[in-house]
Amino acid sequence: TGSEMLGEDFKLGPVVIEGKTKVVYQLAGDPELVLLQSKDRITAGDGDRSHDMKGKAAISTDTTTTIFELLNAAGIKTHFVRRNEETSFIAYNCEMIPIEWVTRRVATGSFLKRNPGVKEGYRFCPPKQETFFRDDENHDPQWSYEECIAAHMTVGGVPIGQDELDIMRKTTLTVFEILERSWASLDCSLIDMKIEFGGQTQHRRNLTSWGGGGVDEWRLWPLGDKRLMKDKQVLQRAEE
C-alpha cells in the first residue's frame, strides 16, 4: 500500500506499471525514484505461458542487482540505485525506449527460425546484434537500424536519433562482453542476451541501460553445452 514503510527512509507510492514478472512502484516524495518488486512468476512465449515458481523473485532480484552492481562499477550507466529487500530494488524512474537490443554469440532459438540456412551453434565473431520493436501483440517484430531511426522517437525528453542509437549499440556490446567474461569465469557460456534502455526523467536527461541483468533476459549454457542450459528456455522446451 502507499503508506507501507520500506526501511527507514522512504515509503511506497502508487503503482506505476505492473508486468508479468514485476511491479513498479513510485516512491512517495521522490518522482525520480521507483521500487521494482519481483514476482514468483516465470513466463515464456511473450507471456503466452506462465507459471508460479516459489523463490524465483528472490533469485531474480539477487542476480539482477549483482549484475547491475557489476555494470555500475564498470562505468555503465544503468537505472539501478541500490538493493532494498530480498525481492526488490530501487532504481531511477525511466521512460522505456520500446526497442529490444539482442546480442548473440551463438546461433540458436528464434534466430534459426528467421535464418533457416544457418546451422545451430554457428559462432558470431564479433557478436551479432539485432533490434526488435516492443509489441507483445505482434510478437516483437524485428526492426532494422534504419527503421529505428525513421521512427523519430522521443523518450524521457530525449530524441532518439542516430547518435542515441549508436550509443545504445555500443553500450549493448560492451555490456555483453563484460557479462560474457564474468560468466566464463564460472565455466558458463553467455549465448545471447536482451537489453533495453530508458530515458531518465526530471533533471537527468540521458540514456540509461535498463534490462540485461535478469534471469529472463539471457541464455546460459554451462560448459558451452546446450543440454545443461540454465535459463527459461527449459520451460519453453518442456511445453513445446
Residue ranges per structural domain of the chain: 12-92, 95-238
Instruction: Say which CATH topology domain 12-92 has.
Output: Phosphorylase Kinase; domain 1 (3.30.200)
| CATH class belonging to 95-238 | alpha beta
pTM for the model stands at 0.84
The pLDDT tens digits of the residues spanning 148-201 come to: 999 999 887 778 999 999 999 999 999 999 999 999 999 999 999 999 998 776
Please give the span between the terminal C-alpha atoms of the chain, in angstroms, as a whole number: 39
Q: How far is CA 50 from the centre of its chain?
A: 18
The pLDDT tens digits of the residues spanning 15-55 come to: 998 988 889 999 988 888 999 999 987 766 555 556 787 88
